[in-house]
Copies of this chain bind each other. A is one copy, B any other.
Amino acid sequence: MPPPRVIAPFHGEHNHRKCLDQAMQRAEAACLQQGVRLTELRRQVLSLVWENHSPTRAYDILARLKEKGRRPAPPTAYRALEFLRSAGLVHRIESLNAYVGCADPMVGHSSQFFICDRCDAVAEVHDTGVTEHLTRNAERLGLHTARHTVEIHGICTRCYHNDQT
């Protein structure tokens, strides 16, 4: 069994400009491959989700779109987010009603999310062991699985240490 694959680590030191550019490039490629349209609005929303690695809420998107000159109503954001989600470009964090960008949209994967409740950082991990374990349980219960929601909440090391001092 392959080891857990960390799609996005906590607080990874990186050039975020590059990170964002790469995400947008991969999104273009993924949409091309899937034969769906990455319109200007969807591109804008995706780049807003990718502004940082914390979960972004729909109404945050709306506020940012306003700053960019649009006058969007809620459906505008929700529709774009739903498109991005169905294209595998963002994930929805159910326990936060929020979205994070997916750094690896080309593989259809069911990921696990590790979330710091203090600083909102999110790490995405693809551990096939967990997935298989859950799938096996589902089969035993007679559930034809459609999707997994696996979200682990806690305090990340950095915040944990800050609390001690």
Q: How many copies does the complex hold?
A: 2
Which among A20-28, A67-75, A78-86, A132-140 touches the partner chain?
Answer: A132-140
Which among A37-45, A99-107, A122-130 touches the partner chain?
Answer: A122-130
Q: Complex formed: what's the CA distance from A112 to B141 in Å?
A: 12
Residue from B6, B112, B143, B148 within 8 A of A156 (CB atoms): B143
Q: How far is the CB of A50 from chain B (nearest CB, A)?
A: 21
Chain B residues in 8 Å Cβ range of A154:
138, 143-147
Interface centre among A130, A137, A145, A156 (most CB of B within 10 A): A137
Whether the Cβ atoms of B134 and A112 lie closer than 8 Å is: yes
Interface centre among A95, A127, A149 (most CB of B within 10 A): A149
